[in-house]
Amino acid sequence: MRVRLEYGKNGLEAELPDANLVGVLKLTPAPPLADPVAAARAALARPIGASPLSELARGRRNACVVVCDVTRPVPNPLLLPPLLDALAEGGLKREDVSILIATGTHRPNEGAELDAMLGPEIVRTCRIVNHVCTDRAAHRFFGVTPNGVPVHLDRTYCDADLKVTVGLIEPHFMAGYSGGRKMVMPGIAALETVQAWHSPRFLEHPRATNGVLDGNPVHAENLAIAKLVPPDLIVDVTLDEANRITGVFAGDLERAWQTGVAFVEKHVRVPVAEPVDVVVTTGAGAPLDATFYQAVKGMVGALPIVKPGGSIVIAAACSEGVGGPDFTRTLLETEDLPGLVEAMQRPGWAPIPDQWQVEELAKAVRRNDVLCVCDGIAPDTLARLFVTPAATVEDGLARALARHGPASTLAAIPKGPYVIPYLAQ
């Protein structure tokens, strides 16, 4: 069977053997909105559990609008104009609005990248600020949570008279689902805050995974921190496989987001009768698969349906390489990945940047053989990242099937981490 996989900007096709293939796991289609701009205007005028944005803006001196960074395909050029119009109706001009890019611990977004993310006209007329997690002076301190997380949040947001977030609800491999509270934490949190929250104490919990909210300590801490300085209004969208808007959910931090999550759950959860020997998956294509750091999400997303000792074949373009310098250095300087993760859990461990993604990678490779198809990283470097380089999906698949035998079973997930596979029993 010929299957199209999300890979970079253009995707790729792979031939999967029918004799082994038990299923191609896809999102259940949700119809794209016929007029997403009109839907955004309506959502802002009649938000869930909150006053209309134009009313919230009245009497405010300024506003901060938090948006996702370049790694998320949020259609801001469609969403921001109606949002800015609502602010203007309430008396806030564009020069009163700061757009804060929730980079988390990622790199800043600049130049042509900003034009594509936000729209050139908005870049010219609004103040654009990149969150920089390492700039301690750019954050305000709100104490330490009961779980020991020191809370430092971006001043641009904290000092704004009106706070709005614009995000995307999709499966998240640690926090259950993205969007909502994640725009604040970790989106605009200091590195020290993210390191404490992304520690093994939270990530090793069995419920810190895709699609799980109840009992998920990562989600609970996310929400508790966001509620310390909550947005006055959130605007979250859901997207289809072509990144077209299928829903707009505006309103209260919890109520609007939960409504969006309930909508997403109906479309992203896909049952599998029993674990399979091999999973072919992806890093979800551009923009998410720009780095190996992000591609880890696709590996971890396959774990619920692959047998222990099974194989994962992942295609991720990694056009920007391994990831940030700290993540890259840690992996390339590490020979014993399980040993490093064990050390992270010992008392007195000094957190290192991006250690959470190292820990997530370890979850995948310590129980499965991972073969990686990747044009953006040289094979000799890829081999040092605890995965096996493969020239093509067919190459990786042939090796995996040879390892598990002619009767081995195979499932494919073309959208990678955007699908939540689960065992039906």
Q: What is the pLDDT of residues 387-416, one digit of tens each?
A: 999 999 999 999 999 999 999 999 999 999
Active-site hit among 152, 172, 267, 404: 172
HSE-up of residue 52 (Cα within 13 Å, Cβ side):
16
Is the preceding peptide bond at 287 cis, omega within 30 degrees of 0? yes
106 catalytic? Reply is yes
Query: How far is 418 from 6, CA to CA, in rounded Å?
Result: 11
pLDDT band at 373 (very low <50, low <70, confident <90, very high): very high
pLDDT recorded at residue 257: 99
Q: Which residues of 127-143 are buried (b: 16+ CB within 10 A; e: fewer)?
A: ebbbbbbeeeebbeeee
178 has pLDDT over 90: yes
**Domains of the chain as residue ranges with CATH:** 2-28+269-423 (3.90.226.30), 36-267 (3.40.50.11440)
354 has pLDDT over 90: no
Active-site hit among 106, 139, 219, 267: 106
Query: How far is 271 from 424, CA to CA, in rounded Å?
Result: 5
Please choose, from the candidates 133, 166, 145, the residue with its C-alpha nearest in 3D space to the C-alpha of residue 64: 166
425 has pLDDT over 80: no
pLDDT recorded at residue 344: 87
Query: How far is 109 from 107, CA to CA, in rounded Å?
Result: 7
pLDDT recorded at residue 417: 94
Q: What is the pLDDT of residues 234-262, one digit of tens each?
A: 999 999 888 899 999 999 999 999 999 99
Please choose, from the candidates 414, 386, 419, the residue with its C-alpha nearest in 3D space to the C-alpha of residue 281: 414
131 catalytic? Reply is no
